Amino acid sequence: MVPKQKSEGTPLKIVLQNISLQVGVVQLQIDTTLSGPSTGIFGPSGAGKTSLLEIITGLKKPASAFIQVGDRIMTNTSKHFHLPVQHRNIGYVPQDLALFPHLSVRKNLAYGQQSTPENQPTIAWEHVIEVLEIGDLLERGTTSLSGGEKQRVAFARALMASPRLLILDEPLSSLDETLKEKIVAYLTKIRNEFSIPMLYVSHNPEEIKCLCDEVVHLSQGKIIFQGSPAELLTRKISKFNPR
């Protein structure tokens, strides 16, 4: 893993108040404030991580919630307010990346960039291409890309929309160790170059330690720990090696 550098992301308060939603057998119950700039969401499968992300992006409607990202209220169920997904300006890279298979890499990237007429783009096309080193891939179809190339294109597409918050759902889970290291290096570059606050979901504490400033540990839909990634790692080690 690449050693952690000082995070350059802009601190952005994310208020997640009174979030409640039944997801299968798990009752998601979250009440916290994240101050990032890069926050890891850690927990085993079925802990409710993806559901929480989908609530923040607006893709899932919670039973109750007050969600504010920076100065923008996203959801306030007590006032029946739910900002539509397309107006939230939250970049989301799902686990399966969801690259548009019928569009070339260039058109995938342009999709996000074209879609923000109300927001002045703060991120330049060339900058993203350069940082993620995808200049040679632009004319290719997405189905012919390797795993690592697909990851970089998915990150780039999310960045092109100049999001106020970037959410990455287990971006490394399907990659082998060598590729993981490479992608972590790219993620570090993204964090340092674009100053976008990040929510980074993973069930690997090492990854979180590399990339995040704070971490929230979810279990059975509830937060059981919130603090620094180093503390999380210590807790995990002491749990597995009890004295």
# binding residues, another protein (CB under 8 A): 27
3-class secondary-structure state, position 100: coil
CA of residue 126 relative to chain centroid, distance: 22
Region near another protein per CB under 8 A, out of 18-26, 63-71, 100-108, 171-179: 100-108
Which of 71, 79, 80, 101: binder of another protein (CB under 8 A)?
101
Residue 79 binds another protein, judged by CB under 8 A: no
Place of tokens 């330049």: 124
- For 98, residues 6+ apart whose C-beta sits below 8 A from its C-beta are 154
Using CB under 8 A, which residues numbered 19 to 78 contact another protein? 57, 59
Question: Residue 221: which region, alpha, beta or left (left: phi > 0; alpha: psi -120 to 50)?
Answer: left
CB of 64 to another protein, least distance (A): 22
**80-to-62, 66, 84, 149, 199 alpha-carbon distances in Å:** 11, 10, 12, 41, 25
Residue 151 binds another protein, judged by CB under 8 A: no
Residue 92 binds another protein, judged by CB under 8 A: yes
Residue 228 binds another protein, judged by CB under 8 A: no
Angle 62-47-66 from CA coordinates, rounded to 5°: 25
CB of 158 to another protein, least distance (A): 8
- Asked if 202 and 40 count as a contact pair (C-beta separation under 8 A), the reply is yes
CB of 111 to another protein, least distance (A): 6
Residue 120 binds another protein, judged by CB under 8 A: no
Question: Where along the sequence are the contacts to another protein (CB under 8 A)?
Answer: 57, 59, 84-92, 94, 96, 98, 100-102, 111-112, 115-116, 141, 143-144, 157-158, 161
